[in-house]
Structure 1
Amino acid sequence: MEEMNKVVVFQVGNEEYAIPIHFVMSIEKVEGITPIPHLPAYVNGITRVRDELIPVVDFERILYNRSFKANESTKMIVLQTEMLSIGVIVSDAKEIIDIPSDKLKQLGLLAYQKTTYFTGVANLDSRVITMIDPSILVQSLDGIREIQEFMKTQKETA
């Protein structure tokens, strides 16, 4: 039996990306985000998900350096990494699919330092889906240590 990779497929801009399902805690509507001053530009603020405060990041800003335009299909994917839980705002969370391992290709761009979180590309019929490792993504973000410290202080005072 061939090995399958269960992933959540989502859209940012016009492109499709996927994150392994084991990182995904939930997919939520985007609401109740409290802006926090002086955090990096890609951080929209914090929100409460299941009684836990988490930072919310704008994936469009991280990937394309432009702010997303929210609409009715905008979603927040709540991810759990070893470092911290994080909400990622995406244009649309589309589906959960199985990607056969033989359809995954390593990226030549992996050597590019700013995109080390891209782990490969799934080549499926008429679709190309870029795979993302949230643990590497979180570690690669500028200012993430400060955000982690801030979230720790919020937990202690909550």
Structure 2
Amino acid sequence: MAESKKVVVFRIQGEEYAIPIEFVISIEKIAGITPIPHLPHYVNGIAKVRDELIPVIDLKQVLYHQGTNLEEASRKIVLQTEELSVGIIVDEAKEIIDIPNEAVKPLGLAAYQKTSYFSGVANLNSKLITLIDPSVLVESLEGIKDIKEYMKNQTQMQ
């Protein structure tokens, strides 16, 4: 049997991206985000998810340097990485699928440091899905150390 990877597929700016399911805690409607001043431009604020405060990142801001226009289909995908739980805002969470390992090709741009979080591209039924490694994504964000420190302080104050 061919090996495959279960992923959550989502859409941003008309493009499809995927994150391995093992990082995904939940997919939720956008609600309850508290803006916090002086955090990096890609952080919409913090939200409480399962009694834990997490930073909420606008992934469109990270990838395209544009804010997401929140619509009915917009979702917050809550991720757990080794370092930090985060919420990412996406235009639409589409589906959970299995991607056969042989359908995943390395990204030619992987050497480009600003896109090091793209772990490959899956070519499925004539559509391309870019795979994102959430741990590398979180670690590559500018100012993430400050955010981790802020979140640690918030947790201790609870």
Place the TM-score, normalised by the shorter chain, in its bin: over 0.9
Amino acid at match of 1:43: V
For the residue of structure 1 that corresponds to 2:87, the secondary structure is strand
- What's the counterpart of residue 11 of structure 2? 11
Partner of 1:134 in structure 2?
A: 134
Q: Which residue in 1 is equivalent to 2:112?
A: 112
The TM-score, its normalising length taken from structure 2, stands at 0.99
- The letter of the residue matching 1:60 is K
Question: Who is 2:92 aligned against?
Answer: 92
- Per-residue deviation at 1:125? 1.4
Identity value in percent: 63
CA–CA separation in structure 1 for the residues paired with 2:45 and 2:96: 27
TM-score (norm 1): 0.99
Aligned length in residues: 158
Q: Tell me how far apart the structure 2 counterparts of residues 34 and 68 of structure 1 sit (CA, whole Å).
A: 16
Unpaired runs of 5+ residues, structure 1, are none
For the residue of structure 1 that corresponds to 2:149, the secondary structure is helix
Question: In the aligned structure 1, how far is the partner of 2:52 from the partner of 2:83?
Answer: 15
Output the amino acid matched with 2:135: S
CA–CA distance in structure 2, aligned partners of residues 32 and 24 of structure 1? 19
| Aligned residue number for residue 125 of structure 2 | 125
Amino acid at match of 2:121: V
SS in 1 for 2:146: helix
User: Does residue 54 of the first structure (1) align with residue 27 of the second (2)?
Assistant: no
For structure 2, the residue ranges without an aligned partner over 5 or more in a row are none
